[in-house]
Chain A
Amino acid sequence: MDFFLEVLTGGLLAGLMYSLVAIGFVLIYKASGVFNFAQGSMVLFAALTFVSLLERGVPFWVSFAITLLAMIVLAWAIERIVLRPLVNRPPITLFMATLGLSYIIEGLAQALWGAQVHGLDLGISDEPLEVGGMLLSQFDLFAAATAGALVLVLSLLFNKTRIGISLRAVADDQLAALAVGIKLQRIWMVVWAVAGFVGLVAGLLWGARLGVQFSLSLVVLKALPVLIIGGFTSIGGAIAGGLIIGASEKLAEVYLGPMIGGGIENWFPYVLALLFLLVRPAGIFGERAIERV
């Protein structure tokens, strides 16, 4: 039983790391209906920029601020060069645009900072803590707290600020939002910049765990089933989806894996996501599309 609980807890904590990436997708999807395939590349770009500055002797918080600025500039450039000319195009066109963008950002990040592997030490110990006979990772607990704080900050942003209300208005109905004078381009720029900030936080935590390297852009593959289960429009859903995916993939690998040859952790979440799609296509917390026919 202790072992089961340990696997379960480890899975839940790992799932929150997936949620960190998934939140970036949700933000952009909520505000623009665009599934941003480039979120993983943004995570890589942010982490690579940050660690490269750090290695050049720039202090931690200055590196953080410069990287954040770089993410805002990137958001501005994406809005101007990619999104604005594609307004009113079908969603698949925008999706394909972000797919292309993903490769461009990956290439740009490596061209600017090189393809070397960098270590990143955030000063958080990864020595295990023993709690009730279970070993818990201090780093994972920190990441979980960060995810919680991020959800809180984003909730405040969405619910208590003027910009947040505009974001929600755009998410609800773009035409109506335009009609009441909300500037769609500005909102998109803001939301991409916030997604860039989330990418930076995710990049630092994942970078500290994996090393800052190209593979960071592959963490999106872990976020996709999280989004399908939690719903594309809910930040809370991204957290719930992350917890479900994290726990189930670890339990499946440990208990089901040995029966079917092991190595199932990568595809099992997609099996679960497909099952969810059959039962609840919009995910647990996603908004159901209601259309007049």
Chain B
Amino acid sequence: MMLKGRTIMKRKTVLILALTAALVSITTQAAQEQHFSIAGYRIGPYAAGGSGQASGLEDYLQLINLRDGGVNGVKLSWTECETEYIVERGVECYERTKKNATTFNPFSVGIAYGVIDRATADKIPVITPNHGRTDSTDGRVFPYIFPVILNPWSEASAIINYLAQRAGGPDKLKGKKIVTLYHGSPYGKETIPIFALLAKQYGFENIQIEVPHPGNEQQSQWLNIRRIKPDWVILRGWGVMNPVALKTAQKTGFPTDRIIGNVWSNSEEDAEPAGQAAKGYISATTHPSGSHFPVLQDIKRHVYGANKGKIEPQRVGSIYYNMGVLDGILHVEAVRVAQKKFGQRALTGDELRWGWEHIAIDDKRLDELGASGLLQPIKLTCDDHEGGGAVKFQQWDGKQWKVISDWIQADRKLLRPLIEASAEKYAKEKNIKPRDCSKE
């Protein structure tokens, strides 16, 4: 009886030890993975943008795992939520996934705004390439928010610089009429003050016209535009608003090649549904479309070759997809940079924040990454969380985008004092003491 009891005890001890060992093994494995949280949207009204970006990001991370065995042996992993672009779901996604996450990717201005305070408290970097809150460029006040590559104000400035180039110089903008047709949302309204400032600087007439969400009816706005007879229309749209704008411009007789789309009105999904009405349409982009870049070829070979791709293969190389790939490149670069300082292991969110703030990708590095011509050289610092600030312009030929300009830089010197003033106002409201970046 005693013997039987001892045997049972032994078995129990062995079982507990085995379970503990398994648990430790799982925890260690998890600790050896660099984990990211992605708030995607593959269904709903903005699925084209959400599915393209999330897939580009995840496919690049998968490429690093499959081709390189991770970053210095540390595997990359991620959790993707389905938010349908709804802010509450995005915030819920953040809360659900934050335990293991070392970055959060909202893919939405609304969701980004919703998690700023939470992510700052949790020390998790929030990555908002080409979107987000403009003044979060000031890393002194927003240490964990990264509107990398291009913030909305830089985008507005770069578009005006392009129009100045087309006119023959900034002084030639004087007296021109420029209409901005914007989406009736915080995203759409983000650039209203900056266009007012640029109009004052260059002397053009600045006319802002709102299109109520979702933008599936724009007859009155375009009739107004026809009456105004502007030299240019800047389209600051999103989703269905973009093809409807192009179609309505055509039926009200406004020339398509005088419309300049912003970086969220520049995808194949914006131009294709408009058919012939989109031919000649120009838009700004931080990256060209196309899958001929070596990094894209590697994704096709290693990820899609292994049947592990996240999207229909024909969408690899689209504007939205390539945006996600750029996001992936920056994520991996941040991990590499941070590993050099903190060691070749899975890093915490705060350590990774340091990595993001020390990303420096020059032409040589772009070449090594297989992304020459896909991404602009970029350098992030403690007080500059944007880093790039340039766009190229592309024109729709009826079937695909053709790049028609070199990199056009935003006037970042003009914008910086405004960004700092806005960030400092925020810091005052929230009782935040800005960091001293000389000590970082």
Contact = CB atoms under 8 A, between A and B. Distances in A.
B220 A128 contact: no
A137 interface: yes
A214 B253 contact: no
A154 interface: no
Interface residues of A, number: 46
Nearest to B243: A211
Contacts of A114: 312
Interface residues of B, number: 40
B239 A119 contact: no
Nearest to A126: B251
Interface in A54-109: 107
A210 B223 contact: no
Given A115-B47, A126-B250, A212 B273 contact: yes
Interface in B213-228: 213-214, 216-217, 219-221, 223-224, 226-227
Contacts of B31: none
Contact of B269 (A14, A117, A253): A117
Contacts of B45: 213-215, 218
Nearest to A6: B223
A14 B216 contact: no
B211 A127 contact: no
A285 interface: no
A139 interface: yes
A263 B251 contact: no
Contacts, number: 118
B123 interface: no
A139 B247 CA distance: 10
Most chain B CB within a 10 A radius of its CB, from A135, A249, A263, A266: A263
A253 B244 CA distance: 17
A187 B208 CA distance: 52
Interface in B241-258: 243-244, 247, 250-253
B55 to A, nearest CB: 12
Given A114-B312, A213-B240, A263-B212, 10 more contacts: A11-B219, A11-B220, A116-B47, A119-B272, A126-B250, A126-B251, A135-B226, A215-B214, A250-B223, A263-B184
Interface of A: 3, 6-7, 10-11, 14, 107, 110, 114-121, 126-128, 135, 137, 139-140, 206, 209-215, 218-219, 222, 249-250, 253-254, 257, 261-267
Interface of B: 42-45, 47-48, 51, 184, 208-214, 216-217, 219-221, 223-224, 226-227, 239-240, 243-244, 247, 250-253, 269, 272-275, 277, 312
23 contacts: A11-B219, A14-B219, A115-B43, A115-B51, A116-B269, A117-B273, A119-B275, A127-B251, A128-B253, A135-B252, A209-B216, A209-B244, A211-B243, A213-B273, A214-B43, A250-B219, A253-B220, A253-B221, A254-B220, A254-B224, A263-B184, A265-B217, A266-B212
